[in-house]
C-alpha cells in the first residue's frame, strides 16, 4: 500500500508540475504576442505619421520653395527626398498617359528645381554612399533607395540637359554598385539591395531617351564593369541564389520565391534589359567588328567568373530560360526587351543547333500569348533569313532581303519548325494582327513573320540539307497538316499560310508518279530493267548506245553530264559544285512530280492556244507559293525568262537541241542560290509515252481534243470558258471529271 501511495503522489506531482509549466508558457506566449501587437501598432502609427508628413510636404512644395527643397535634400531630409521622389514619379508617368493634361505649375516648379542645382545635390548624395556610412536617424532603411529613385526619375526627362554631367560624375557610385562580390553601399549590404533597382533604372534612363545621347553612352560605357554588370543583373533572380537569399533579409516586401507574382528581381531584369538593348542598338551586325561584339556578349556567362568560375550558362541561353520561367507571370509588354536582345544577339555568329532548337522549343511549349508568338517567330525569321543591314522585321512577304541559310533551315526543320508555325497559326491566327501590339514597329507582325519564314523555306527547300530534312520529316508534316486542316482560322491570311506550307511539303517532296530511272533520257522510251544502258560517267539511263551518242552531240547531255555525275565522280567536285548538283536534282524531281500530276492541264492549255505541246515550254515556277504553271511558246519563254536567268546559254542550247525531237520541254524556275536577284532555270525533256496507246505527244493531244471538240470549239466564248475550267481545276482529276461529263453531255 505504501508503494502504491507513493506512486500515486508522484504521478499527481508530475501532473501539477506539467500544468504549471504549461500555464507559464501560455502566459509567456500571450505576453510575447501582446508585445508584438503593441510594437506593430506603434510601427503603424509611425508609418502613418511618416506618410502624412510626406503627403503634407508634397502639397506644400510651392510654399516651401525650390531653394528650401534643395537645402532639405542636401541635409538628408528623409521626408523631402521621399516626397520629391513620389512627386517626380507621378509627374513623368503622367506625361505618357493618354489624355494627360499639362500642369504648368508643376512643370514650372520642376524647372526651377533643376535650375537651382537639384541634380548636383542628388549626385553628391548618391556618391556619398560609396565611402561613408549612413549617419542619422531615419524612419526606414529606404532613404538611399528613395534618393536613387529620385535621381532616376529626374534622368527620365528627355529634355534634361544634365545627362552627360551625371554620367561623368557618378563614377564612384558605379564602382560601388557593380561590385557584386562585396555588395555594399553606405557600408551596408542592406542599402546595396535597397538601391539596386533604382541604380539600374538610373542607368537605363541615362541611356534611354527619344534621342540617343551617344556621348552620354560612351562616357557610361567607359566605366569599368558597368555593361557586364547590366548584362548579368538580368539573371540575378535565376542564377544568383546568394543575392536572392540575402535580399530576403533586408527587403520586407520581397517575395518568398523568385518567379512568383511580385518578384522584385523581375523588375531588375526588365530594367537591365532595357539598358542592354539600347547599347546593343549601336552595334552594326553587318561589320566584322559588330558581329564580334555581339558574339562576345551572347557567349558571356550569366554569372561573373569572380562569383562562379564554373558557370557554363551563356547569355543567349539565359535569355531563353528567362522567357520560359516567366511565361505565365507577366505580360509580353513587360518582357519584350528580352525578345529584342535575343533577336540582336542572333545577328552575330552565335547561332548553332542548340540555339535554334531551344527557340523552337520556346515556340512549341512556352508561348501562351499572341505577342509572345510574334516575338518567337520574329527571332526565328531573323535567324533563318539574314538581314542586309536592317534589324527591323516589318514582315513584308514580297521582299526577301538576302538568301536564306540552308544549314540553319535544315536544323530548324528537323527540330519542328513547320509544326511549330502551324500550331501557332491555329492558336493565334485569328487574333488582331494590325500592329497594335508591342512588336508592331520593330519585331514584326505575327502572321507576316511566319509568311517570311515559309517564303524563305520555299526558296531554300531544293538545296541539299533542307531538301533532305523535309523529305525525312515528310510523314510527320503531312500528319500535322491533316490534324490542323479543319482548325485553321477562317481568314485569308491563315488559309494562305496553310497553302504555302502544304505546297512545300506535299508538292515538292511527294513520291514521283513515274520512276525516272526507267525512262531513256534521250528518246523517253520506257525501259525494262534488263534493257537499261547507262552513261559511264553520270549513270544516266539510255535505251541504246546510238541514242546516247545522239544525245551527247545534239541533246545537251554533254553539259548536263557534269551535273549528273555518279558518286565516284561527285567526290571530286568542289563543295559549290556538289551543292549545285543537289539543287538541280531536287528541282528536276519536283518538276517531274508536278508535271505528271498536271499533264492534262498542260495538254488542254496547248489545245486552247492552238499549238502543239511539243512546240511549247511547260513552265513551272517554284518561286511562287504554290508553284505557278503556264504554257509558253518557245519564243515567249526565251524573251520572258532569259533576262534574269543565271544559266541562259546552257538552257538556250539545250532547248534548241531538243525542240524537234517530239518531246515535251519542262522548264523549272527557282531562285538562284548565288545571286538573290537572279533565277535558276533547269530544263527537262520528256517523252513518257512508252506505255501509252499513242506513239507521240501530238497524237495524245489530238485524242484529248476529240473529247471536247465540237462545232462550238471555235467559238471564242466556249474556248474562254474552257480556259477558266482549266485554271480553276486543282488537279488532273478535276479535269478528267470535267471531260467525262462533257463527253457524256455530247452523247
More confident call, 614 vs 699: 614
**Region for 629 from its dihedrals, namely left if φ exceeds 0, alpha if ψ lies in -120 to 50, beta otherwise:** beta
> For the ranges 366-375, 399-408, 552-561, 642-651, which has the lowest average pLDDT?
642-651
CA distance 37 to 162: 48
More confident call, 604 vs 40: 604
Q: Cα Rg for the chain, rounded, in angstroms?
A: 38
- What pLDDT does 442 receive? 36
Question: Quick check: helix, strand or coil at residue 541?
Answer: strand
Please name the helix (run of DSSP H) or strand (run of DSSP E) that holds residue 740, with its range, or none: helix 732-746
Question: Quick check: helix, strand or coil at residue 116?
Answer: coil
- What pLDDT does 735 receive? 66
Q: What is the pLDDT of residues 701-730, one digit of tens each?
A: 776 666 655 545 555 665 566 666 666 666
Give the mean model confidence (pLDDT) for residues 285-301. 90
Q: What is the pLDDT of residues 591-635, one digit of tens each?
A: 888 887 788 888 888 887 888 888 888 888 888 877 888 888 877
- What pLDDT does 318 receive? 94
Give strand pairing partners of 632.
Answer: 617
For the entire predicted model, the pTM comes to 0.76
Give strand pairing partners of 542.
Answer: 533
* pLDDT higher than threshold 80 for residue 210: no
DSSP string, 275-288: HHHHHHTT--TTSH
Q: For residue 152, give the nearest of 101, 86, 80, 74 by alpha carbon.
A: 86
Max Cα–Cα distance, the chain, nearest Å? 138
* Virtual torsion, Cα 428, 429, 431, 436, nearest 10 deg: 100
Give the mean model confidence (pLDDT) for residues 261-266. 72
- What pLDDT does 316 receive? 95
With contact defined as beta carbons under 8 Å apart, do 647 and 680 qualify? yes
* pLDDT higher than threshold 90 for residue 359: yes
CA distance 29 to 255: 28
Question: Quick check: helix, strand or coil at residue 378?
Answer: helix
CA distance 290 to 649: 41
CA distance 188 to 185: 5
Q: What percent of the chain has pLDDT over 90?
A: 16
Q: What is the pLDDT of residues 496-555, one digit of tens each?
A: 888 888 888 876 554 433 333 446 766 656 667 677 888 877 777 788 888 888 878 776
* pLDDT higher than threshold 50 for residue 400: no
With contact defined as beta carbons under 8 Å apart, do 220 and 207 qualify? yes
* pLDDT higher than threshold 90 for residue 303: yes
> For the ranges 58-67, 107-116, 565-574, which has the lowest average pLDDT?
565-574
Q: What percent of the chain has pLDDT over 70?
A: 69
% helix / strand / coil in the chain, to the nearest 5?
60, 5, 35
Q: What are the boundaries of each domain within the chain?
A: 2-52, 60-201, 225-350, 351-510, 574-746
Outline where 555-676 has alpha helix (H). Answer: 557-560, 567-570, 575-597, 599-609, 634-641, 648-658
* pLDDT higher than threshold 70 for residue 636: yes
Give the mean model confidence (pLDDT) for residues 148-161. 83
Q: How crowded is residue 513: how many other Cβ atoms within 10 Å of its Cβ? A: 13
191's grid cell: 542599402
CA distance 605 to 636: 15
Q: How does DSSP classify residue 555?
A: S
More confident call, 400 vs 704: 704
CA distance 455 to 399: 9
Q: What is the pLDDT of residues 81-106, one digit of tens each?
A: 888 888 888 877 766 655 556 677 88
Buried b (16+ CB within 10 A) or exposed e, 62-101: eeeebeebbbbbeebbbebbbbbbbbbeebbeeeeeeeee
54's grid cell: 510626406
Outline where 60-117 has alpha helix (H). Answer: 61-64, 66-74, 78-95, 104-115
Buried b (16+ CB within 10 A) or exposed e, 679-700: bbbbbbbbbbbbeeeeeebeeb
* pLDDT higher than threshold 60 for residue 63: yes
Bridging pattern class, strands 628-633 and 616-621: antiparallel
* pLDDT higher than threshold 70 for residue 562: no
Label each residue of 299-342 as H, E or C. CCECCCCCCCCCCCCEHHHHHHHHHHHCCCCCCHHHHHHHHHHH
CA distance 716 to 718: 5
Residues near 466 by Cβ (< 8 Å), separated by ≥ 6? 406, 409, 410, 413, 457, 460
Instruction: Please give the mean pLDDT across all residues of the chain.
Output: 77
Q: How far is CA 727 from its chain centroid? A: 37
* pLDDT higher than threshold 60 for residue 149: yes
Q: What is the pLDDT of residues 178-209, one digit of tens each?
A: 999 999 888 888 889 889 999 999 999 888 76
Chain length of the chain? 747
pLDDT band at 10 (very low <50, low <70, confident <90, very high): low
> For the ranges 203-217, 418-432, 590-604, which has the lowest average pLDDT?
203-217
- What pLDDT does 275 receive? 92
Bridging pattern class, strands 533-534 and 541-542: antiparallel
Q: Could you give the strand order of the β-sheet that contains 616-621, starting from the edge strand earlier in sequence?
A: 628-633, 616-621, 664-671, 679-686
Q: How many CA atoms lie within 13 A of 65 on its CB side?
A: 3
Residues near 126 by Cβ (< 8 Å), separated by ≥ 6? 144, 147, 148, 151, 170, 173
- What pLDDT does 437 receive? 43
Q: How does DSSP classify residue 255?
A: -
> For the ranges 223-227, 301-305, 455-459, which has the lowest average pLDDT?
455-459
Question: Strand locations in 139-296, DSSP E?
Answer: none
- What pLDDT does 712 receive? 54
CA distance 353 to 412: 8
Give the mean model confidence (pLDDT) for residues 64-77. 88
More confident call, 589 vs 562: 589
User: Quick one: fold of 351-510?
Assistant: 1.25.10
- What pLDDT does 133 receive? 74
Give strand pairing partners of 665.
Answer: 617, 685
* Virtual torsion, Cα 719, 723, 725, 730, nearest 10 deg: 160
With contact defined as beta carbons under 8 Å apart, do 631 and 618 qualify? yes
With contact defined as beta carbons under 8 Å apart, do 190 and 260 qualify? no
Amino acid at each position: 500500500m505504501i508503494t502504491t501511495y507513493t506512486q500515486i503522489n508522484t504521478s499527481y506531482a508530475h501532473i501539477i508540475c506539467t500544468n504549471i509549466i504549461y500555464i507559464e508558457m501560455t502566459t509567456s506566449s500571450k505576453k510575447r504576442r501582446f508585445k508584438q501587437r503593441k510594437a506593430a501598432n506603434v510601427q503603424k502609427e509611425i508609418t502613418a505619421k511618416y506618410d502624412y508628413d510626406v503627403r503634407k510636404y508634397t502639397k506644400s512644395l510651392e510654399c516651401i520653395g525650390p531653394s528650401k527643397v534643395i537645402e532639405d535634400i542636401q541635409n538628408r531630409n528623409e521626408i523631402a527626398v521621399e516626397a520629391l521622389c513620389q512627386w517626380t514619379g507621378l509627374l513623368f508617368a503622367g506625361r505618357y498617359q493618354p489624355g494627360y493634361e499639362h500642369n504648368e505649375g508643376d512643370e514650372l516648379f520642376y524647372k526651377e528645381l533643376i535650375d537651382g542645382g537639384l541634380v548636383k545635390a542628388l549626385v553628391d548624395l548618391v556618391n556619398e554612399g560609396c565611402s561613408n556610412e549612413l549617419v542619422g536617424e531615419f524612419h526606414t532603411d529606404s532613404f538611399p533607395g528613395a534618393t536613387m529613385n529620385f535621381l532616376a526619375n529626374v534622368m527620365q526627362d528627355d529634355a534634361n540637359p544634365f545627362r552627360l554631367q551625371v554620367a561623368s560624375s557618378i563614377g564612384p557610385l558605379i564602382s560601388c554598385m557593380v561590385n557584386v562580390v562585396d555588395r555594399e553601399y553606405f557600408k551596408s549590404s542592406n542599402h546595396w539591395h535597397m538601391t539596386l533597382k533604382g541604380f539600374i533604372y538610373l542607368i537605363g534612363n541615362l541611356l534611354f531617351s527619344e534621342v540617343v545621347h551617344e556621348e552620354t553612352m560612351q562616357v557610361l560605357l567607359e566605366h569599368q564593369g558597368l555593361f557586364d554588370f547590366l548584362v548579368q543583373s538580368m539573371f540575378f533572380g535565376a542564377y544568383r541564389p546568394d543575392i536572392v537569399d540575402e535580399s530576403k533579409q533586408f527587403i520586407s516586401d520581397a517575395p518568398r520565391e523568385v518567379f512568383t507574382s511580385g518578384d522584385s528581381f523581375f523588375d531588375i531584369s526588365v530594367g537591365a534589359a532595357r539598358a542592354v538593348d539600347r547599347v546593343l542598338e549601336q552595334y552594326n551586325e553587318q561589320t566584322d567588328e559588330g558581329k564580334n561584339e555581339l558574339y562576345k556578349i551572347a557567349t558571356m556567362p550569366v554569372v561573373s567568373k569572380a562569383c562562379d568560375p564554373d558557370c557554363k550558362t551563356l547569355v543567349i541561353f539565359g535569355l531563353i530560360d528567362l522567357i520560359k520561367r516567366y511565361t505565365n507571370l507577366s505580360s509580353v509588354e513587360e518582357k519584350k526587351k528580352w525578345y529584342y536582345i535575343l533577336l540582336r544577339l542572333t545577328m552575330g555568329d552565335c547561332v548553332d543547333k542548340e540555339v535554334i532548337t531551344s527557340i523552337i522549343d520556346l515556340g512549341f511549349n512556352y508561348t501562351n500569348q499572341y505577342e509572345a508568338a510574334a516575338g518567337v517567330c520574329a527571332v526565328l525569321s531573323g535567324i533563318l533569313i539574314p538581314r542586309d543591314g536592317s534589324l527591323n522585321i516589318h514582315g513584308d512577304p514580297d521582299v526577301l532581303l538576302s538568301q536564306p541559310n540552308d544549314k540553319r533551315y535544315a536544323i530548324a526543320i528537323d527540330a519542328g519548325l513547320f509544326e511549330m508555325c502551324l500550331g501557332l497559326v491555329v492558336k493565334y491566327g485569328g487574333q488582331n494582327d494590325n500592329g497594335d501590339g508591342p512588336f508592331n514597329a520593330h519585331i514584326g507582325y505575327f502572321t507576316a513573320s511566319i509568311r517570311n519564314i515559309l517564303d524563305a523555306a520555299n526558296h531554300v527547300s531544293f538545296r541539299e540539307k533542307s531538301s533532305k530534312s523535309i523529305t525525312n520529316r515528310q510523314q510527320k508534316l503531312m500528319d500535322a497538316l491533316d490534324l490542323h486542316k479543319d482548325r485553321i482560322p477562317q481568314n485569308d491570311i491563315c488559309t494562305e499560310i496553310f497553302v504555302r506550307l502544304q505546297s512545300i511539303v506535299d508538292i515538292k517532296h511527294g513520291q514521283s508518279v513515274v520512276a525516272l530511272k526507267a525512262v531513256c533520257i534521250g528518246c523517253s522510251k520506257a525501259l525494262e530493267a534488263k534493257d537499261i544502258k547507262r552513261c559511264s560517267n553520270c549513270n544516266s539511263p539510255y535505251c541504246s548506245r546510238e541514242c546516247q551518242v545522239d544525245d551527247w552531240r545534239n541533246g545537251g547531255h554533254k553539259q548536263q553530264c557534269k551535273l549528273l555525275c555518279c558518286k565516284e565522280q561527285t567526290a571530286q567536285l568542289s563543295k559549290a559544285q556538289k551543292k549545285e548538283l543537289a539543287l538541280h536534282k531536287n528541282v528536276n524531281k519536283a518538276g517531274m512530280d508536278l508535271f505528271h500530276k498536271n499533264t492534262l492541264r498542260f495538254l488542254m492549255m496547248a489545245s486552247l492556244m492552238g499549238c502543239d505541246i511539243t512546240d511549247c515550254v511547260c513552265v513551272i515556277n517554284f518561286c511562287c507559293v504554290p508553284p505557278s504553271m503556264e504554257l509558253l511558246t518557245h519564243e515567249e519563254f526565251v524573251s520572258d525568262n532569259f533576262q534574269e536567268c543565271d544559266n541562259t546559254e546552257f538552257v538556250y542550247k539545250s532547248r534548241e537541241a531538243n525542240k524537234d525531237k517530239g518531246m515535251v520541254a519542262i522548264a523549272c524556275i527557282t531562285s538562284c542560290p548565288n545571286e538573290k536577284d537572279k533565277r535558276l532555270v533547269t530544263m527537262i525533256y520528256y517523252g513518257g509515252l512508252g506505255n501509252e496507246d499513242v506513239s507521240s505527244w501530238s497524237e495524245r493531244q489530238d485524242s484529248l481534243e476529240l473529247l471536247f471538240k465540237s462545232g462550238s470549239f471555235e467559238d471564242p466564248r466556249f474556248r474562254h470558258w474552257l480556259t477558266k475550267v482549266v485554271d480553276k481545276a486543282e488537279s488532273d482529276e478535276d479535269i478528267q471529271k470535267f471531260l467525262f461529263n462533257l463527253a457524256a453531255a455530247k452523247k
